[in-house]
Structure 1
């Protein structure tokens, strides 16, 4: 007999990505088992069960895809771990305590956590790590430039920070010890080994990210541009389908794409 279709739930069904996920779940061969919205209100044009809280949704699906808000991470981690429901988490801007809740849940359930579910962004981030490992910070300045739509409330973006973290990992350092962000006024010269960030906002740009390595003799740029948020939805559904056969643990999009983890 064929295996039962994967049942996917969507946290934040009425969000920008949530609506796209509702379209992509059946396209990916899975079943849309339901979603959460504030106060459990239905969403026009989406035919599925709606729940006011994550616990109600978790008991009716195999995987929950979550692009909500950092404030929901701890209760979501608790509810999904208790129900044994796998978790695809795309929420960014987590505090150390919120990340600890994700790590604890991953000891009981399978979790894919990523700042960005685009395969292209995943590969650019991996290349940034590899390049940073062979382009020393004493010779190559690393800068990350990102631009998003005018409504975006956080800066640098979660994806930009993930790229910066990859550069830091490649160089064997902590991003928190070398980050330069939001330069303004008389800042003095650029610190040796710094990882710089610049954030631009305007119009309705979905997302543009560049990692730039510059020495006194050359410059190398890695750039990714997203034209449609649907790429995040299709990537998240791919991650949900991949999770079906996984044991408890914390995974990322490199795992989903079948890439070996860096040594």
Structure 2
């Protein structure tokens, strides 16, 4: 029996990749039953044709309430305002929710957390297996290097249409380093540097963002010591890795108990960590 999936943010880059990967059965056991997006020009179009592949027999709508209640999982790559705004409704329906939307502020995150008290939610700044494994390695590295004088910097590059900075993935990696060092990320985080910031303090994690062209996503965590530099990196060359990860998370979370999960929870059966 297939897991019934609705894509929220269907007409965006990730939405189209998700639709195509479902229709091409990159992850088996999923059925597309809804495609939601607010873009007026796409309303009523077949979601598969809109995504550049075969017809899906599902038309794009801007009304999540028409398709969300009867779905098993909603996969959300929309906007931070749309995600937070839909949280109470999704909680009421009890539909499982996979969220790849980034840029959520504290109030918006609180709305997602409240929904997770009533329905299962997977929230992650990055859905790829490689990035989630990298987070694991960064945390292990930080644990090993703690107290040994290694400074941490996170570098990230994305396409010129990305709206948030630092990226959700960069923050995941920074959190992994902070966890390994036993630091509070909010206290240690510094976003870029300019002017005369002075000497770098020990308890600091720097974030640096590049935006240009059609870069899918490059991330590097640097552990800079005296006399050596350790770099742990990941480069995405296709959005399919994020789409496939999100679809695997959707397959996994359907029917789970209500609580907030991470991608690491969802990927344990794949990564074995």
**Is the TM-score greater than 0.5?**
yes
Taking the aligned partners of 1:208 and 1:42, their CA distance within structure 2 comes to: 35
Find the counterpart in structure 1 of residue 234 from structure 2: 224
Asked whether the 8 Å contact 1:137–1:193 carries over to 2, the reply is no
1:58 and 2:68 matched: yes
Shift of 1:261: 11
Find the counterpart in structure 2 of residue 13 from structure 1: 10
Question: Structure 1 residues 127 and 116 mapped into 2: Cα distance closer, same or farther (>3 Å)?
Answer: same
Q: Which has the larger displacement, 117-126 or 182-191?
A: 182-191
Question: Which of 29, 40, 43 is residue 41 of structure 1 equivalent to?
Answer: 43
What SS does the aligned partner of 2:67 have?
helix
Q: How does 1:1-263 map to 2 (within 5 A)?
A: 4-26=1-23, 27=25, 28-29=27-28, 30-38=30-38, 39=40, 41-43=43-45, 45-46=49-50, 47=56, 48-136=58-146, 139-258=149-268
Q: Which runs of 4+ in 1 moved over 4 A?
A: 259-262
TM-score between both structures, scaled by the size of structure 2? 0.89
**Gapped regions of structure 2 (runs ≥ 5):** 51-55
Taking the aligned partners of 1:219 and 1:112, their CA distance within structure 2 comes to: 34
Taking the aligned partners of 1:77 and 1:261, their CA distance within structure 2 comes to: 31
Q: Which has the larger displacement, 219-228 or 191-200?
A: 191-200
Shift of 1:137: 5.2
Taking the aligned partners of 2:203 and 2:155, their CA distance within structure 1 comes to: 17
Taking the aligned partners of 2:161 and 2:10, their CA distance within structure 1 comes to: 19
Shift of 1:92: 1.0
| Deviation digits for residues 128-177 of structure 1 (CA, Å, limit 9, x no counterpart) | 11111221256010011111112222221111011101111112211110
Taking the aligned partners of 1:206 and 1:8, their CA distance within structure 2 comes to: 25
Taking the aligned partners of 1:152 and 1:23, their CA distance within structure 2 comes to: 21
Asked whether the 8 Å contact 2:150–2:224 carries over to 1, the reply is yes
TM-score between both structures, scaled by the size of structure 1? 0.93
Taking the aligned partners of 1:203 and 1:167, their CA distance within structure 2 comes to: 29
| Deviation digits for residues 226-252 of structure 1 (CA, Å, limit 9, x no counterpart) | 001111111100000001241111111
**Gapped regions of structure 1 (runs ≥ 5):** none
Question: How many residue pairs are counted as aligned between the two chains?
Answer: 259
Taking the aligned partners of 1:184 and 1:19, their CA distance within structure 2 comes to: 38
